[in-house]
Amino acid sequence: MSRARSGGPPEQSREEHHRRSAVANRRYPGAVPYLVHPDELQSLCPGEPPFRARQLRDWLYRKPVLSVDSMTDLPPDLRDSIRHRLWPFSVDIEQSADEGATVKWLFRAPDGAAIEAVLMGYRDRTTLCISSQVGCALACSFCATGQFGFDRHLQAGEIVAQVAYARAHLRDVGLSRGPNRLTNVVFMGMGEPLANYDGVREAIRRMVVEMEMSPRRLTVSTVGLVPGMRRLAEEPWSLNLAVSLHAADDDLRSRLVPINRRYPLEAVEAAAAYFFTRTGRRISIEWTLIDGVNDTIEQAAALAPIARRLGAHVNVIPLNATPLSTDRPSRRDAIDRFVGHLRSLDVNVTVRDTRGADIDAACGQLRARRSTAR
Ligand code: SAH
């Protein structure tokens, strides 16, 4: 399934719609609500009593809805003024997979920036995977986002709007599996969250303070930017941190994850240990398994002591093949051997359920497919 949404109100004639927008625009300024700090929403409705800004804040953060028409307690002119800018992006593609248990969006910002998010319903939780940057500068060899370079950081409002959109979708449309409320958010879409520290920090603050999500349900995934890991450890929230290791020696890791030359394994491990000590939250280690590259017994044996020292859980992700790389996913028996060896060495390990493979739901893939098709 693939459909685009225009956001226009079908029930109004074009003329009537233009007339009402013109009236609303004279009265209210043209800011995009999610791009305004929540404390400053009054600036969107000057001349209105302060409770209007509070109502708007509730609609944006506490009970997000897909369309302004559902914001029934706001005056019609105010609704009209934000009708076409409620979301800081349009929906370029919406696809569902796994019998309706997965939905993937490719959002498009007005400057053309592509933003991917994936919503996944499981029996006991509903998880949203969000993007923190448009593209990525870190060029990990197997990652579709990295293969297409870096465009820009996402603003805090563009990050949090992905969460609000998913919550609105769950409320207004729903998923075929899992709770119809968002329980978990992971920064595992496009971009390196710790390279956009301030934007990500403010987005997390809004999720926790404005949306009242538990920080224990939020996971930041990093390639191992040591200064950002240490800074995150000092924030006032008990978040989860996932570290993308992928290799247990510096030679191999520098080939797969070039930033390893600046922040080698030892420094990444020390920063992860610091995070655990400061927050009490167990680290998870991500390991994308690539055929013949990092799926050997030697790598498993070198990973085990790192994972044990950190008390970390290892998350094995079978590679999703990407257009600009010849890397292939490990074969089933190699995955079993790698995982079995880690278990025999007392390491906690799970293989990630690969969701939405048929809709290119792996990191950066939907955008990558669009770019290569052009
Ligand atoms: N930049 C962050 C978060 C985004 S990627 C990070 O590196 O952690 C989220 C996870 O997906 C990372 O562990 C990343 O290595 C992994 N990943 C990227 N491309 C992949 C692919 N083609 N197949 C499987 N996993 C991939």
Domain chopping of the chain, boundaries: 115-372
* Residue 172 scores a pLDDT above 70: yes
Nearest CA to ligand 1 atom 20: 143
* pLDDT computed for residue 354 by the predictor: 75
Helix (H, G, I), strand (E, B) or coil at 139: coil
Nearest CA to ligand 1 atom 18: 143
Does 286 sit in the ligand 1 pocket, CB within 6 Å? yes
* pLDDT computed for residue 361 by the predictor: 55
Which single residue is written with the structure tokens 């992905």? 162
Helix (H, G, I), strand (E, B) or coil at 174: coil
The CATH number assigned to the domain with range 115-372 reads 3.20.20.70
**Ligand 1 nearest atom to the CA of residue 143, by list position:** 19
* Residue 230 scores a pLDDT above 80: yes
Average pLDDT over the chain, rounded to an integer: 91
* pLDDT computed for residue 373 by the predictor: 41
Phi, psi of 97 (to 5 degrees): -150, -175
Does 95 sit in the ligand 1 pocket, CB within 6 Å? no
**Ligand 1 nearest atom to the CA of residue 322, by list position:** 22
* pLDDT computed for residue 29 by the predictor: 65
Mean pLDDT of 118-144: 96
Q: How far apart are CA 24 and CA 82, in angstroms?
A: 9
The whole-model pTM stands at 0.91
Does 294 sit in the ligand 1 pocket, CB within 6 Å? no
Q: How far apart are CA 30 and CA 28, in angstroms?
A: 7
User: Is the pLDDT higher at 47 or at 17?
Assistant: 47
Q: How far apart are CA 38 and CA 32, in angstroms?
A: 11
Does 287 sit in the ligand 1 pocket, CB within 6 Å? no
Does 144 sit in the ligand 1 pocket, CB within 6 Å? yes
Rounded (10°) angle between helices 297-310 and 332-344: 40
- Return the biggest CA–CA distance within the chain: 70
Contact between residue 359 and residue 98 where contact means Cβ atoms under 8 Å apart: no
Nearest CA to ligand 1 atom 1: 192
Mean pLDDT of 59-72: 96
Query: Residue 317: CB partners within 8 Å, gap ≥ 6?
Result: 286, 287, 288, 289, 351, 352, 354
